[in-house]
Amino acid sequence: MNIAFILPHIAFTPGGGFKIVFEYSNYLSAKGYDITIYFMTDHLWKRRIPVQSLRRKLGRFLSAQGPGWFLLNENIICKALFDIKDVSAHDVIVATAVRTAIMLNRLQDRSVEKIYFIQGFETFYADEEILFQSYAFPMKKIVVSKWLKDIVQEYTDEPVTVVPNGINLDIFQCTRPIEDRKRHTIAFHYRREEGKGSKYAIEGIRALKEAYPDLEVFAVGVEGRPKELPLFCKYYRKIEQKQVAWINNQALVFMCTSIEEGFGLPGLEAMACGCVLVTSDFAGGREYAVHDVNALVSEPGTTAAMVRHIIRLFQDEALVKRLSLQGIATARTFRFEDSAKKIEQAVTRNS
């Protein structure tokens, strides 16, 4: 079977949604499916290079290189997609974002099985009306969380399949017991996008540094070191998953300040490594984080409650151990292999 995924742009830097697609692509490729990944290049450097033919050539060259930060199986083909007419013959084509769904919807070939893999409520790419219209496209729908299913199901008569994101438990595991870690240590992922809420993480870290001068912070990001990040924070840019897991095993607390996420994979990965998750109450995080059961949860867009939660952890070893163990147990129920099998079943069924 020949399966294609369409991504909204070239994957120059690491991104959670892209990583999920690449991991599923590798899994399906290893199972014997022919996999092609298309990167949409219709908007590539449109302002810098007005000549369309030059942009097409550049897009083809850059797309063929694949993502520099993720190792794809050798037999996976990477191509540029400037127009839906450029697609080759496939049994199944999977749109992975609203822009890609709009393009795929223009494909007239009725022999192709069209699938819409929805990883978030993408108001940062399109307004709600356009999103709702895309959910009504004649495509099979797969979503990463129950809250997204509730939204999408309102706009389609077909059943919506939920496949939660899974984690590689061979990489993300607790290698350093929580009691052996330095008490005043925090890890978090910095992202510039407003919906990630990184400014609240930085506000909290500054406040905690005043109370705990020995505070150590490990920040992970994809861009150059942010100017607003305090100098005492260690910053790791564009690192591999094994390095992320190592950082998670150094920290007592993983702080997540997202306002909105489709799922929120970094928090779950941190739980698998034994970190105590202190998170904002965003919809995606509710798929796995339960307050005072396996995490400490506070209202999004605030700092004070999250700081109080972290201080509570710094002062209560029994609470830390209980939440750490429960977090590990929760993370173990989100195995990548289980999610990948569900994706395989959903993508190949009736195709």
Confidence bin at 351 (pLDDT 50/70/90): low
Say if residue 126's pLDDT is above 90.
no
Same-domain status, 133 and 7 = yes
Task: Provide the β-strand partners of residue 116.
Answer: 95, 141
Confidence of residue 55 (pLDDT cuts 50, 70, 90): confident
In angstroms, how far is CA 215 from the centroid of its own chain?
28
CATH code of the domain in which 10 resides: 3.40.50.2000
Residues 240 and 301 in one domain: yes
Q: What pLDDT sits at residue 124?
A: 79
**215: buried, middle or exposed (CB in 10 Å: 19+, 13-18, 0-12)?**
buried
Nearest Cα to Cα of residue 177 among 297, 293, 276? 276
Considering its fold, how many domains does the chain have in total? Answer: 2
pLDDT top residue among 343 and 48: 343
Q: Does 64 map to a domain?
A: yes
In a domain, 160, yes or no: yes
Residue 173 placed within a domain: no
DSSP 105: H
Residue 147, pLDDT above cutoff 60: yes
Please state the length of the chain. Answer: 351
Confidence at residue 10, expressed as pLDDT on a 0 to 100 scale: 93
Residue 171 lies in a domain: no
Residue 244 lies in a domain: yes
Across the chain, which distance is largest between two alpha carbons, in Å?
Answer: 64
Domain that holds residue 310: 178-331
Instruction: Give a yes or no: residue 172 inside a domain.
Output: no
For the residues 191-209, what does the mean pLDDT come to? 94
pLDDT at site 81: 95
Co-location of 26 and 155 in the same domain:
yes
Burial class (CB in 10 A: 0-12, 13-18, 19+), 255: buried
* Identity of the amino acid at 31: K
Rounded Cα distance, 191 and 258, in Å:
10
Rg (the chain; Cα; Å): 21
Task: Check: CB of residue 278 under 8 Å from CB of residue 268.
Answer: no
- Same domain? For 23 and 158 the reply is yes
Rounded to an integer, what distance in angstroms lies between the CA atom of residue 17 and that of residue 120? 9
pLDDT at 313: 98
Pair 315, 341 in one domain = no
The pLDDT tens digits of the residues spanning 156-182 come to 999 999 999 999 999 999 999 999 999
Residue 194 and residue 89 in one domain? no
Tell how far CA 169 is from the center of its chain.
16
- Does 45 or 118 have the greater pLDDT score? 118
pLDDT digits (tens, 9 = 90+) for 205-218: 999 999 999 999 99
Going by pLDDT thresholds of 50, 70 and 90, the confidence category of residue 109 is confident
Q: Is residue 130 part of a domain?
A: yes
At 350, the pLDDT band (50, 70, 90 cuts) reads: low
Does residue 232 sit within a domain?
yes
Question: Mean pLDDT over residues 185-201, rounded?
Answer: 94
Residues 147 and 57 in one domain: yes
Alpha-carbon gap, residue 27 to 51, rounded angstroms: 38
216 CB-side CA count, 13 A: 11
Same-domain status, 315 and 343: no
| Dist. CA 339–CA 121, nearest whole Å | 20
| pLDDT of 44 | 81
pLDDT of residue 254: 98
Question: Do 342 and 327 sit in the same domain of this protein?
Answer: no
DSSP-assigned beta bridge partners for residue 236: 220
pLDDT at 264: 93
Asked whether residue 41 carries a pLDDT value surpassing 80, the answer given is yes
Share of the chain above pLDDT 90, in %: 87
Torsion of CA 30, 32, 34, 39, to 10 degrees: -20
User: Per-residue pLDDT tens for 256-315?
Assistant: 999 989 999 999 999 999 999 999 999 999 999 999 999 999 999 889 999 999 999 999
Helix ranges restricted to H, 169-316: 198-211, 241-248, 265-272, 304-315
* Residues 201, 98 share a domain: no
Let me know: does 286 contact 297? Beta carbons within 8 Å. Answer: no
Are 136 and 150 in the same domain? yes
Residue 201 and residue 117 in one domain: no
H helix runs in 136-289, sequence order: 146-152, 198-211, 241-248, 265-272
The confidence score (pLDDT) of residue 49 equals 79
For residue range 227-251, list pLDDT tens digits in order. Answer: 999 999 999 999 999 999 999 999 9
pTM for the full predicted model: 0.93
Express as a percent the part of the chain with pLDDT over 70.
99
